[in-house]
Amino acid sequence: MSTALPIDHRVGYLDAAAQARLLQAIQAVVAEAPLFVPRMPRTGRQFSVRMTNCGPLGWLADKQGGYRYEPVHPETGKPWPPIPQMLLDIWEDVGGGAPPEACLINYYGQGAKMGLHQDRDEEDFSAPIVSVSLGDTGLFRVGGKTRKAPTQRYELASGDVLVMRGESRLAYHGIDRIVPGSSDLLPEGGRINITMRRVHKPDI
């Protein structure tokens, strides 16, 4: 029987103190680069998550321009804030290789979710995707390299790190829903997911 591609799920990677420190760093990013509402290309339909970015490049989704990476915030026009050192340390610790160029921050309020998709707006699939979760648990679904492949569910709790590399780099994945009240890290509730990625092949 075929199963979902295996992913590297590091449960409890960040302890409570580290989660609180990372949350502060993310709040500082959001203060400089406010959360915005992404929209589906063509239909213009809103995503249910709010997002922002840090790092040299940020991922955007809007009606006109589609899915892409840009060096500036779509509303402020300012460069994205730098990636907090704590996140760069995680990237290095899990063997991410050449430093991440993009760090997407998704905020899931009550009822937010993310449909099954592949992360394929990058030129370089040889680098991993490293994801860190804070706040309420997210029910993460991961499958294979086609949309129809069997899927498996993981519970991404606050402080968990997930690494998608090799075969699983292009696995379909999404968030079915968050579990309200499962963490009290975020004063307003909800979930933050942070994903670091390389966009370009590193110059050697």
Ligand X SMILES: O=C(O)CCC(=O)C(=O)O
- The answer to whether 177 is a known ligand-binding residue is no
142-171 residues in contact with ligand X (CB under 6 A) are 156
Q: Which two tokens stand for residue 37?
A: 């509402």
CA distances from 14 to 6, 90, 201 (A): 22, 10, 29
* Binding flag, residue 103, ligand X (CB under 6 A): no
Whole-number Å distance between alpha carbons of 68 and 65: 8
Burial of 139: CB neighbours in 10 Å, binned 0-12, 13-18, 19+: middle
* Binding flag, residue 183, ligand X (CB under 6 A): no
- The answer to whether 196 is a known ligand-binding residue is yes
* Binding flag, residue 190, ligand X (CB under 6 A): no
193 binds, among ligand X, Fe ion, none (CB under 5 to 8 A by kind): ligand X
Whole-number Å distance between alpha carbons of 147 and 45: 21
Q: Which of 161, 173, 186, 199 binds ligand X (CB under 6 A)?
A: 173
* Binding flag, residue 160, Fe ion (CB under 5 A): no
118-137 residues in contact with ligand X (CB under 6 A) are 119, 131
* Binding flag, residue 22, ligand X (CB under 6 A): no
User: Given CA atoms 27, 53, 98, 153 in this order, what sign does their dihedral have?
Assistant: positive
Number of other residues whose CB lies within 10 A of the CB of residue 38: 21
Binding mask 74-113 for Fe ion (x = CB under 5 A): ----------------------------------------
106 binds, among Fe ion, ligand X, none (CB under 5 to 8 A by kind): ligand X
Cα of first residue to Cα of last residue in the chain, in angstroms, is 41
Number of other residues whose CB lies within 10 A of the CB of residue 156: 24
**Residues in the site for Fe ion, rule: CB under 5 A?**
119
> Residues at the annotated binding site?
59, 67-69, 106-108, 117, 119, 121, 147, 173, 191-197
> Residues at the annotated binding site for 2-oxoglutarate?
106-108, 191-197
